[in-house]
Structure 1
Amino acid sequence: MEVKAPDLGVDSAEVSEIMVAVGDVIEKDDNIVLLESDKASVEVPTTAAGKVTKISVSVGDQVSEGTVLIEVDSADASDDAGSDDSAEDAAEPEQADDSAEEDTVEEEAADDASEGASTTHALPDLGVDEAQVAEIMVSVGDTVEADESLLLIESDKASVEVPAPEAGVIEKILVSAGDMVANGQDFIVIKAAGSAKAKPKADTAKKEDKPAPKADSKPEAKAQPAPTGEPKQAPAPSTSTAPAGKKLSEAEVNEKLTDVYAGPAVRKLARQLGVDITQVSGSAPNERILKEDLFAYVKTRLTTQQAAPASAPAAAGASLPKLPDMSNQEIWGETEVQDLSRLQKVSIPQLNYNTLLPQVTQFDMADITETEALRGELKGGMKAQGIGLTILAFIVKATAYALTQHPRFNSHLSDDNTQIIVRKSVNMGIAVATDDGLIVPVIKNAQDKGIKQLAIEIGELAVKARDKKLGAKDLQGASFTISSQGVLGGTAFTPLVNWPQVGILGASEATMQPKWNAKTQSFEPRLMLPLSLSYDHRVINGADAAVFTRYIATLLADPRRILL
């Protein structure tokens, strides 16, 4: 039987470790390979029990959903069990009657078990490295239906309800509220319908007859030290070195990456941090380096006092000092400590990337008088269909079309800063304000959708965001972002580019303003919408930004141009 890779939540992932060998006897849900993508490391469990007859992948291979990982022969496991039983029968013929009786009991147990059995279920792909159990929505003994919500999982991106994979009775809950959980982790045991009929004696007989796994079938897991971030004691010499505490150039980092055991996500992070990865100790099996090892190493380097050269400027590499002691109310007055929401906490590292971008903002005004009149004509009919038609739907449509005409704004800068990766489809991120902070769900293939469909999806995503119902895939893959402040007020703002995107469009509150009409030689009241385009100056130059922003303003002034 072939065991294939499940839905990984990404297009492909790298085989980082193979956790079984040919000849191993494995049980269902035993982990067989470790896959690592840009988003997470995931241990893939087997969907079948038996003896491993073939391993179809190698370490370093790129696999996707449906790729054959291993082949399992369940018959081999049964044959082993049969041969063991035969040997016992030959050694003890006087127990033949008892064996026959036990076989009969086992058959009865199998008949009962076919009606239902207790099954341990693992968490699905969460789309992130880890998430927190925010709420357990069932109790032991509850009867649930398939797809009924069991847990509320809150990640750094969204809150997701985990559905029941099958109908039955909750036998055991393996996690608690507040626990941090990961993809593939066992979280619940469900006894399927009919399990209560299984006979205890049959269960015992089944366990006794089950063949014991071979002593050498799986290598014993090596005890792994906790990641300390300490540098290796004897690093291998390198052709490119840097003084202690100096951030390596990207070329130097890339050169050192060939000498270590790490997945693509870890290597990418090392390039971003400028870390000499040969100095980092890996805590995973075979000294494989994890993201946690990199973070621990950086933390150690930052907290270790190093004497700076006398010629170096005093402010070089300096960071903000710690807050002063604010306990003295005579100086600081009364204070109150308030915890940030989880969403705000996990957003801080992503926002820190913006300090590395040379960001510039271009401002313009769009005359949306005619567009607003068209919206007024359409919104009554849309409302009767339960659709809220806002100006944002027109902004998304115009921007998506503009991105197809100016594809450089729909791209990403490569890690080595030598190329841009141009996206063929427009996946539009829409910033939504929630009680927990700002969240950005994504409209996929926005360039192919009309105003009505965009209005429907904008409304659905906004409701899901505020109700914490967004799934991991609702938040992934954006190529450009729009942040609309609607009727919140303000004349303009400078939105932050959401790395690795290279642009973001901000829209402020539209107001009536006088505009000169050259034909009538007079001022006319027009509804003007302020636009703020922030962009990564490494990819976009100022002239292109001005042309792109004006093009969007032109489309918003007359949406009929999109049809040409």
Structure 2
Amino acid sequence: MEIKAPDLGVDSAEVSEIMVQVGDVIEKDDNIILIESDKASVEVPSSAAGKVTNINVEVGDQVSEGTVLIELDSDSSADEEQAPAAEEQSAAPQDESQEAKSADEQDKQTESESQQSKPAAAEAGQATTHALPDLGVDEAQVAEIMVSVGDTISADQSILLIESDKASVEVPAPEAGKVEKILVEAGDMVTNGQDFIVIVGDGGAETDTSETKTTDSQAQDSSKDNEKQSQAADAGKPKQQQTESQSAQTQSKPQQRKLTEAQVNEKLTDVYAGPAVRKLARQLGIDITQVNGSALNDRILKEDLFAHVKDKLSTQKAAAASGNVVSSGLPSLPDMSNAEIWGETETQDLSRLQKVSIPQLNYNTYLPQVTQFDVADITDTEKLRGELKGGMKAEGIGLTILAFIVKATAHALTQHPRFNSHLSDDNTQIILRKTVNMGIAVATDDGLIVPVIKDVQDKGIKQIAIEIGELATKARDKKLGTKDLQGASFTISSQGNLGGTAFTPLVNWPQVGILGASEATMQPRWNADKQTFEPRLMLPLSLSYDHRVINGADAAVFTRYIASLLADPRRILL
């Protein structure tokens, strides 16, 4: 039986640790592999029980959904447990063998009675306590409970809204049935595997539960009978032989070699960093255990590696000059408790979203960023939008100028693929994206968040408008999932009607460009054909780009091309 990687929430992740060995006998849901992405470290549980016959991955391998991790022999576990019992029965006296036969007959009778009672149990239904799935983070907060005690729910129905520093995720119902008890409350901090709900399953589910419990009961009774037979067989032996027999039984049991959860957590605490950070540390020759992490739970980021190198260089330079050690970085804030100097102050906590965005924003310190400004004449496009928005509004679709900007930019990216790329870690190559996944900056009460519209190059303006509305609503309601926030190749930040003539948006690393759109205003423009000024609706554009990948001339051509598409969207059809 092959055990495959489930949906990891990312395209691929690195195998950080293998927690089982060939020959281990494991149970269902035992952790077998520890994988690590740039976002988090996740333990992958086994979807079945059995004996590990083969391990198909190694530490450092990149795995994705569907990758075969290990292979199991699901029958070997039962065979190993029955083998010692068979040997002990053959060694027991004849009367013990007869007692064993009598016990077998009683087991068969018990099994027959339990099978007859299954329909009744299935009809009555049993309450089952369910645990939270892997959340992708160490802990998260219960933002909303979406069902009540007594509700009848279906399998995979959303019942809980969990909010972490990264995103909000809806937890689906593990089975269909009736909610008997809810074990958490809104505001509680929960962790992976924590019990959160009790559900009385439907008839089909209860049949399975009854069968499972009957099988477990039989297995326990059989184990007890085997133990009694073994003790009876040892009773007539000298004490030394009894000791040897018990020692042999102990050695015959498979040894548990996988790491415990506490050991895994201890390892994560020692060095908490993603594969990309570990790779960069190896390239820089840094001992990553000596680096202090600045992110949540002391996670080490790339900027921490750069700061570590800067600190070492500064220390060595200062030591060579004067023999004294000088700390690097900004100094601490002055003491502002003196109101006569600083006046009255007040301390306010940042939101979790703001805290988690700070390390990402700090990457701009290492980017040679430049901004190109231009304006687009959208008079005719706005007229077209006015003609279409009434019909779309009747369908429940809000058609804004942003949908036109997204489509025009996506088309421009297909014509200028260098803006839809990433710079490799060793700065020797660029990775060109063949699809356009557009990030759309959305302002919420907690801060700025950037959901992603996938495959924009294949979608029309109407479909783009629909998805913009859906993502904006989910963002403001804190219902965006992890996949809604991943995979962007370019970003658009629109300030709408907030005012301003231009601004400098920050490139969202590892992307190489971002387009800002300010408020459109009526301005006088010279008409050469009519030899007169006329009012035109002008949209300011601000393109920030990574100068390591994009040249200034290319940025000017790209921005002008977007402006021409916005002036006449029919160009996209050519």
User: What TM-score bracket applies, with the shorter chain setting the length?
Assistant: 0.7 to 0.9
For 1:272-351, list aligned pairs within 5 A: 274=284, 276-277=286-287, 280=290, 292=299, 308-309=318-319, 311=321, 318-351=328-361
- 1:445-496 per-residue CA deviation (whole Å, 9 max, x = no partner) reads 1111111111011111101111111111111000000000001111111100
Which residue, 413, 418, 440 being the options, matches 1:430?
A: 440
Secondary structure in 1 matching 2:71: strand
Aligned to 1:558: 568
Aligned to 1:132: 140
- 1:135-173 per-residue CA deviation (whole Å, 9 max, x = no partner) reads 462689976432233432223332112111212456785
CA change 1:316–1:527 in 2 (3 A) is farther
Secondary structure in 1 matching 2:346: coil
CA change 1:120–1:21 in 2 (3 A) is farther
| Length-normalised TM-score, structure 2 | 0.80
Secondary structure in 1 matching 2:281: helix
Is 2:276 the partner of 1:265?
A: yes
CA change 1:489–1:170 in 2 (3 A) is same
The structural deviation recorded for 1:322 is 1.8
Aligned to 2:238: none
Aligned to 1:15: 15
CA change 1:436–1:453 in 2 (3 A) is same
Aligned partners of 2:101 and 2:181: how far apart in 1? 37
Aligned partners of 2:478 and 2:398: how far apart in 1? 20
| Length-normalised TM-score, structure 1 | 0.81
Aligned to 2:156: 147
The structural deviation recorded for 1:198 is 4.9
Aligned partners of 2:32 and 2:426: how far apart in 1? 34
Aligned partners of 1:39 and 1:70: how far apart in 2? 24
Is 2:64 the partner of 1:64?
A: yes
Aligned to 2:410: 400
Work out whether residues 143 and 170 of structure 1, in 8 Å CA contact, stay in contact via their aligned partners in 2. Answer: no
Work out whether residues 280 and 302 of structure 2, in 8 Å CA contact, stay in contact via their aligned partners in 1. Answer: no
Extract unaligned runs of 5+ from structure 2: 228-249
CA change 1:133–1:303 in 2 (3 A) is farther
Instruction: Look up the equivalent residue of 2:142 and give its one-letter code.
Output: A
Instruction: Look up the equivalent residue of 1:146 and give its one-letter code.
Output: A
The structural deviation recorded for 1:359 is 0.7
Secondary structure in 2 matching 1:504: strand
Larger radius of gyration: 2
Aligned partners of 1:174 and 1:215: how far apart in 2? 39
- 1:379-418 per-residue CA deviation (whole Å, 9 max, x = no partner) reads 0111111110000000001000001111111011110111
Which residue, 96, 101, 105 being the options, matches 2:106?
A: 101
Aligned length: 522
The structural deviation recorded for 1:264 is 2.9
Secondary structure in 2 matching 1:506: strand
CA change 1:562–1:511 in 2 (3 A) is same
CA change 1:80–1:105 in 2 (3 A) is farther
Secondary structure in 2 matching 1:397: helix
For 1:26-425, list aligned pairs within 5 A: 26-87=26-87, 91=92, 92=96, 93-94=98-99, 96-106=101-111, 108-109=113-114, 112=118, 115=122, 118=128, 120-124=130-134, 126=135, 129-135=137-143, 137=145, 144-168=153-177, 173=183, 177-179=187-189, 181=191, 185=193, 187-188=195-196, 192-193=201-202, 195=206, 198=210, 206-209=219-222, 215-219=253-257, 221=259, 224=263, 226=266, 264-268=275-279, 270=281, 274=284, 276-277=286-287, 280=290, 292=299, 308-309=318-319, 311=321, 318-425=328-435
The structural deviation recorded for 1:316 is 9.4
Aligned partners of 1:42 and 1:108: how far apart in 2? 44
Secondary structure in 2 matching 1:160: strand
Aligned to 1:508: 518
Aligned partners of 1:123 and 1:529: how far apart in 2? 47
Work out whether residues 311 and 328 of structure 2, in 8 Å CA contact, stay in contact via their aligned partners in 1. Answer: no
Work out whether residues 161 and 479 of structure 2, in 8 Å CA contact, stay in contact via their aligned partners in 1. Answer: no
CA change 1:105–1:550 in 2 (3 A) is same
Aligned partners of 2:507 and 2:223: how far apart in 1? 59
Instruction: Look up the equivalent residue of 1:97 and give its one-letter code.
Output: S
CA change 1:281–1:77 in 2 (3 A) is farther
Extract unaligned runs of 5+ from structure 1: 232-260, 283-289
Work out whether residues 280 and 294 of structure 1, in 8 Å CA contact, stay in contact via their aligned partners in 2. Answer: no
Higher mean C-alpha displacement, 37-46 vs 211-220 = 211-220
Aligned partners of 1:187 and 1:438: how far apart in 2? 33
Aligned partners of 2:202 and 2:384: how far apart in 1? 57
Work out whether residues 315 and 327 of structure 2, in 8 Å CA contact, stay in contact via their aligned partners in 1. Answer: no
CA change 1:140–1:77 in 2 (3 A) is farther
Work out whether residues 310 and 328 of structure 2, in 8 Å CA contact, stay in contact via their aligned partners in 1. Answer: no
Is 2:445 the partner of 1:451?
A: no
The structural deviation recorded for 1:280 is 4.5
